[in-house]
Structure 1
Amino acid sequence: MFARRLVRSPQLPLHTPGLIPRCAKVTRSISGSSFLQPREFPSSGFEVIDPSQRVEEEKLPFYRSDDYYPMRIGEIIQDRYQVVAKLGYGTGSTVWLSRDLKGRKYWALKVHTRTSQRNCELNVYRHLGGIDSEHPGQENVRRLHDSFTLKGPDGEHDVFVMTPLGMSLRTLQDMQENNAFQQDLVTTALDQVLLGLGYLHESDVIHTDLHSDNLLIAITDDSILSTVEESEVHKPSARKKTDDRIIYVSQYMLGGVGPLTVCDLGQARIGGEHRGNAMPMQYRAPEVMLNMPWGNAVDLWAVGLLAWDLLQGESLFGVYSRESTEKNDAHHLAAMTALLGPPPPEFLRKSEETSRYWDNNGQWRGPVPLPPERKLETLVSRVEGEDKDMFLNFIRRLLVWYPEDRPTSMEAFFHPWLRGKSS
């Protein structure tokens, strides 16, 4: 069976930082500036995956092969970026490690699908780039180094040039016992998430897609990037060949002890108030589901659910129906009611759609049964005593029906549970 390879940072670097990577030669252009010579990557010696099996992005819903750029390892982009490994994929892009033959350093290339007619993420990065901010949370939000358009066989693809990052918090969580982190690691992670959100919110940006897959650990030692490249040369990744493209198995980079970085601004919104669908199903705030105006408080709802996920190793809410959004929302709102109690009258008055689920007194009358009442304090199993009380207080501040009652990101940052002191 094929699998995504785990590449660890070596104890001894393969090259001295700042020098030319091993096996690279220098050539000189006509203009006189020096370039690294491209490397040759093997055309054999890798596992060939059965064409009938779905691999990587092929497994995603609504996948269409011609939406994705048919990248090849070893390919040179823009006459300077040589692709040396695949790092990941998503519904709107694939991510590749590249070596800059001109700048002599590594970059991650995020290659968007051709269907991104209007690249919202690029608009957000341009918006952030136009703001002069000294907010400390800038270091906890991924930055865009450069962007360009790549012409493919079926259309054009936006490409982002970014600093490579390490594994996601979700990947690290999957390696933990019981799929849960110790409290001190959770509070450290949330500190950095809230700082990043503080910077975004100050800059009038709402993330809307906050979860552990979109939180990556920064790399402080580039030797792991060289290790990934050498691994692709000496033990090439498994791949699937079709008539017109190759689909590679991505590499995990098990390295990085730098800041936690908020990534993927593809669903982010600029401005204070919005309407319409947003957020992953299980993280969706109630005001979004009920078609109310919503703002950056939706990110704080997501922080509450993220905190629970990281500490408890399981989600408070799930995906109840993938076939019917209406049925899923009904079950989701019923689960919220069982956990949080009925919504307050002022919340019910914010949207006519609330009448489908509650009467004027907040009593449930939705199209699905109300589950048994749940109490947060009985569900907490990973902390005890004063730590448990402060954790519950933190969660209850964030998971409230009325968005205006949630704290700002910086108010949440100074909550006693995160600051290590009793209230």
Structure 2
Amino acid sequence: MASSSHSQPIAAASQPPRVFPTSGFQVIDPSDKVEEENLPCYIRDEYYPMRMGEVIGEHYQVVAKLGYGTTSTVWLGRDLRDGKYWTLKVHINTMQYNQERVVYHHLASVTNTDDHPGRQNVRELHGSFTLTTQHGDHEVFVLTPLAMSLMTLQEMQPKRVFQKVLVTSALDQVLVGLDYLHTAEVVHTDLHADNLLISIKDDSILAKVEEGEILAPAARKQDDDRFIYVSRYILGGAGALTICDFGQARIGSEHTGPAMPLPYRAPEVILKMDWGSPVDLWTVGLLAWSLLEPEALFDVYAADSPELNDAHHLAAMTALLGPPPPEFLKRSEETSKYWSEDGTWKGPVPVPTDVSLESLGTVLTGEDKELFLDLLSGLLCWLPEERLIAAQAYSHSWLRGVSEE
């Protein structure tokens, strides 16, 4: 196993590390790929070779694996000084620039948002340290543990949709959190249900996760000097919805260049225009729809052909929103590939016919549906400056308690 510069507990620790089982778990065939190994860009030596029960950062004992991604693995750690649990996000050793850290530090430095209610809906960085191995350094974030994502909870629902009362509660919290971020001049750009996590009110849930790892150790495979563990998921949690993952976030009011996951891209991003915080409100509109309706508004139609994918995406927008206004068309030469100067579609794929937001909406009825579509019309606008800002969307009558018919 690679060595760590912070692998031993210090004298200040008041609790001895627990001994974790070295047997009694499912041994996965070495030829099978496990978790992060399935990522297309996975490189073995870039990831820290964590061992269950290892003490890192001088006083955090790793007690469970919580997840993984393209730039990190995520673990549950218990502070041996006071028994408090933390999420430990261990980054790969080839990250030359950690945008998420920059954003966290920026948010911590902004003083005019100290009393903003949306702070509780945005994840904060509580500390960091570095682990050193023969292959390089791994930056570790210390974060408050959170439970499952809104996407995981949605997948547990009948037909993968929520009741209206849960949708409005989720959107309220997202909008308050976004108002805080935008006040601090941070654009998230990657807002979707998998980056919205439910906070934990009772640490006993975390103690049960640790105990589960003792009594029924996670399945794993051995790859030479390391183990690849199967993650445990924290399925409890009843606290605030928390906006997470700032690796793609931007600081400042105006930006250029690619951003946002393909299905969520705002039109100004697709068309290489300048963009800013209104892109987050575009995704709030898509989020509202996806939480309430079983079918997404915009799918990736031609992932192997970016040009055609953009055309399909913009054609679907044209079908649902109508042609873009002349002012919008003048903002980028890219628009001439898809529309004439008067807004007539000329793209390489046809515009879908006989579709509208009203016809696609299947859940709500009557005035409730009308108000919901009115909210969407204020979020899914061609012109970014015409979109509702977060505080305006929060005050919309559909979110403020109109009863269903």
**TM-score scaled by length of structure 2:** 0.94
Instruction: Choose from 29, 34, 37 the match for 2:16.
Output: 37
Partner of 1:349: 330
Describe the SS at the equivalent of 1:363. Answer: coil
User: How many Å separate the matches in 1 of 2:22 and 2:308?
Assistant: 50
Equivalent residue in structure 2 for 1:70, among 49, 61, 78: 49
C-alpha distance in 2, partners of 1:313/1:158?
39
The runs of 5 or more residues in structure 1 that have no matched partner are: 1-27
Deviates more, 1:313-322 or 1:294-303: 313-322
* Partner of residue 219, structure 1: 200
Find the counterpart in structure 2 of residue 131 from structure 1: 110
Partner of 1:397: 378
Shift, 1:142, TM fit: 0.4
1:152-167 alignment, distance < 5 Å: 152-167=133-148
Q: Distance in 2 between matches of 1:195 and 1:389?
A: 24
CA deviations over 1:58-100 (Å, ceiling 9, x no partner): 2223222222212111111022011000011112211100011
Aligned length in residues: 393
Match of 1:117 among 96, 109, 122: 96
Letter in 1 for 2:280: D
Aligned to 1:14: none
- The aligned residue for residue 179 of structure 1 is 160
Q: What secondary structure is seen at the aligned counterpart in 2 of 1:79?
A: coil
Q: Which of 131, 135, 151 is equivalent to 1:150?
A: 131
RMSD: 1.4
Question: Which moves more between the two structures, 124-133 or 175-184?
Answer: 124-133
Q: Cα 1:321–1:114, aligned 2, differ >3 Å: closer, same or farther?
A: farther
Identity within the alignment, %? 62
CA distance in 1, matches of 2:142, 2:42: 24
What is the SS of the residue equivalent to 1:358? coil
Q: Which residue of 1 aligns with 2:250?
A: 269
Instruction: Say whether the 8 Å CA contact 2:10–2:58 is kept in structure 1.
Output: no
Between 65-74 and 232-241, report the one with greater CA deviation.
Answer: 65-74
Structure 2 residue aligned with 1:295, among 276, 293, 297? 276
Q: Structure 2: which amino acid aligns with 1:235?
A: A
SS of the equivalent of 1:230 reads helix
CA 385–82 in structure 1, closer or farther in 2 if over 3 Å, else same: same
Amino acid in the other structure paired with 2:212: S
Q: Which moved more, 1:322-331 or 1:244-253?
A: 322-331
Q: Counterpart of 1:86?
A: 65
- State the shift of 1:34 in Å: 4.9
1:116 maps to amino acid: M
- Write the distance in 2 (CA, Å) between the matches of 1:202 and 1:171: 29
- 2:188 paired with 1:204: no
CA-CA distance at 1:29 after TM superposition: 6.8
User: For the structure 1 residues 94 and 34, does the alpha-carbon distance in structure 2 shift closer, same or farther, using more than 3 Å as the test?
Assistant: closer
- Greater CA deviation, 219-228 or 321-330? 321-330
Verify the 8 A CA contact 2:35 2:68 in the aligned structure 1.
Answer: yes
2:24 paired with 1:53: no
- 2:393 and 2:226 map into 1 onto residues whose CA distance is 47
Question: After TM superposition, what 4+ stretches of structure 1 lie above 4 angstroms from structure 2?
Answer: none
Q: Give per-residue Cα distances to partners, 1:12-33, cap 9 Å, x unaligned.
A: xxxxxxxxxxxxxxxx975xx4
- 2:226 maps to which of 213, 221, 245: 245
How much does 1:321 deviate? 2.4
Most deviating of 289-298 and 84-93:
84-93
2:362 alignment counterpart: 381
Aligned partner letter, 2:297: L
Pairwise mapping of residues 316-335 of structure 1 onto structure 2 (< 5 A)? 316-335=297-316
TM-score, structure 1 as length reference = 0.90
Partner SS state of residue 36, structure 1: coil
The 1:29/1:401 distance shift into structure 2, 3 A limit, reads closer
Distance across 1 between alignment mates of 2:171 and 2:148: 17
